[in-house]
Structures are given as structure tokens and as C-alpha cells.
Amino acid sequence: MKVDVYKRPEQGGRFSYLAVPEGRPIPEEATNIDWETAEHNIDLDQNTEPVHGLSADDALAQIDAKGYAISSISNKVRIGPNI
């Protein structure tokens, strides 16, 4: 499945990520958050490595259940130097 990935900054230099099927808008319940584009047209399937902290199995299950996937608190990705 092809997805578009968005990110939002969190505390401590970490980011949360949101994946939606390619070409679909960010779901209404998540539009009140300032998401920035991280990547477009990403292949997400069981044979790929996790994308921005989203494992393929978990992300695909979330997309099937609610139409989008979001990284969990335990999977927030740190970008930048340790501060």
C-alpha cells in the first residue's frame, strides 16, 4: 500500500507520525493538529522496514480500522542531537 506520511513535533526533539493512504486527506479528527509533510508515496507492506516508527503490520491494521495510522507514544522518533 502506498501512503503519505506527515509529522508533528513533540517534546524533547521527538516527532509523531501520521500515515494515510496516498492521495487521501488527513482525517477530520486529526486536522486540528499542525501536521507537516514528511514523505509522499511511501511503500508500506509486510516486507518493508518500519517507516518513521510505524511498523507495517501495525500501520496497516490501524489504516484498516480507522483509515489512518499514527505512531504510538513508545514509538516517537527522535531527530537531532541529544539535549
Domain ranges of the chain: 2-78
Instruction: Report d(CA 6, CA 67) in Å as an integer.
Output: 14
Closest alpha carbon to 7 in 73, 76, 83: 76
Q: What is the mean pLDDT of residues 55-65?
A: 90
Q: Classify residue 40 by its DSSP letter.
A: E
Instruction: Report d(CA 7, CA 15) in Å as an integer.
Output: 6
| pLDDT at residue 81 in the model | 44
pTM: 0.78
Closest alpha carbon to 21 in 64, 50, 58: 64
Query: How confident is residue 72, by pLDDT bands cut at 50, 70 and 90?
Result: low
Instruction: Report d(CA 27, CA 47) in Å as an integer.
Output: 26
Instruction: Report d(CA 3, CA 19) in Å as an integer.
Output: 6
| pLDDT at residue 32 in the model | 73
